[in-house]
Structure 1
C-alpha cells in the first residue's frame, strides 16, 4: 500500500534525535541520545559522558560502602545482643530498635542495587564498564575482607 499521498498531520521525524532520549534493548556503544535513568540525566557531549561515567563509578562504589556499613552494624548489634544475655527487658527494646535499623539498611541496599540495575539496563557499553569499575573500586575500598562470590547479587 502506497502512503505517499496521505497527509500525516505534520509528522516531521527529521529532527527526532535532537533532545530525545534513545532507548536501546540491545548492547550498544551509542552516545548520541543517551539518557541515564532520568530524562534530565542526558549525555550531551564528551565532557558530560566522562562526568556521567565517573558519577556512575562513584555511585556503584558507594553501594559497597553501604553494604559494609550494614555488615558492621550487624556485627555490633549481634555483639550487643549477646552481651545483654538471653532474657532482659533492655534486650527486647534494643532488639526491636536494632531490627528496625537493620530493616532500614536492607531496604536502602535493595533500592541502591535496583538503581544500579537500571544503570546497567541502558545496555550501553560505557555505562556497563563504569558500573564494573565502580564495583571494583568499591570492593577494594570497602569489601576486600568479604568473599566476592558472596557479594554479587541484585539485592
Structure 2
C-alpha cells in the first residue's frame, strides 16, 4: 500500500485546518478573538462574545462590594467603628506573647456574639467573596488589557453604586496611616 500521497498535514483529520485554540499570552496583550477566560469553555470566538464577557466581568467585579453591604444592611454584620483595632494586638502585646508563650491571637472581647447559623452563613458568603476575588485575579492573569480594564471598571462601579458614604474618622485615624487600603 502506497502512503506517499499522504502529507504530514493530512493526518490531522481536518484537511490541514485546526480548530481555533485558546490564546495563552504571558505578556500584556489586546487579543480579542480566541481568548479564553479562566476556563476553556469560556472561549471568546467573536466580538459580541467579547463584549458579553466584558459585561459579565464588570458585573462580577461589583459583587464583592454588594455582598458586604447587603450583610451590613441586613444587620448580619456591622461596619467597624473608628478607633477599634478589630481584635489586633499592639506591638507590645505581641512581644509579650512571644516572651511569655501565651496565646497571641485571642478572641476579641469587643463585638456582638453571632449565633452559629449566622456564623455559617457569614462564612459561606466570605468564601464566595474570596472565590470571586480569586476568579477576578485569574481574569487579570490573562494579561488582556480589555479584560483587566473590565475588572477594574467593575470594582469602580461597585464602589460608586454601593459606597455612598465615607467614615472620615476611620479614614483619618492614626491606625489608617500606613495601611495600603
Which TM-score applies when normalising by structure 1?
0.68
Give 1:143's aligned residue.
163
Q: Report if aligned partners of 1:70, 1:105 keep a CA contact under 8 Å in 2.
A: no
2:77 aligns with one of 74, 79, 92: 74
3-state SS of paired residue (2:44): coil
Return the offset for 1:125. Answer: 0.4
Return the offset for 1:102. Answer: 1.7
> Take 1:151 and 1:113, find their aligned partners in 2: how far apart are those partners?
17
Q: Which has the higher helix share?
A: 1
Return the offset for 1:9. Answer: 9.7
Return the offset for 1:134. Answer: 0.6
Return the offset for 1:45. Answer: 1.8
Give 1:21's aligned residue.
22
> Take 1:95 and 1:120, find their aligned partners in 2: how far apart are those partners?
37
- 1:1-155 counterparts in 2 under 5 A? 10=11, 15-16=17-18, 18-72=19-73, 73-75=76-78, 95-145=115-165
Residues 151 and 38 (structure 1), Cα distance of their counterparts in 2 relative to 1, 3 Å cut: farther
Q: CA RMSD in A?
A: 3.3
Q: Report the number of matched residues.
A: 130
Q: Report if aligned partners of 2:33, 2:47 keep a CA contact under 8 Å in 1.
A: no
> Take 1:70 and 1:138, find their aligned partners in 2: how far apart are those partners?
15
Give 1:81's aligned residue.
none
Moved more, 62-71 or 34-43: 62-71
Residues 151 and 118 (structure 1), Cα distance of their counterparts in 2 relative to 1, 3 Å cut: farther
> Take 2:129 and 2:121, find their aligned partners in 1: how far apart are those partners?
12
Return the offset for 1:98. Answer: 2.3
Larger Rg: 2
> Take 1:108 and 1:124, find their aligned partners in 2: how far apart are those partners?
24
> Take 1:122 and 1:71, find their aligned partners in 2: how far apart are those partners?
33
Residues 151 and 62 (structure 1), Cα distance of their counterparts in 2 relative to 1, 3 Å cut: farther
Structure 2, gaps ≥5 residues long: 1-7, 80-111
> Take 1:51 and 1:36, find their aligned partners in 2: how far apart are those partners?
12
> Take 1:121 and 1:71, find their aligned partners in 2: how far apart are those partners?
31
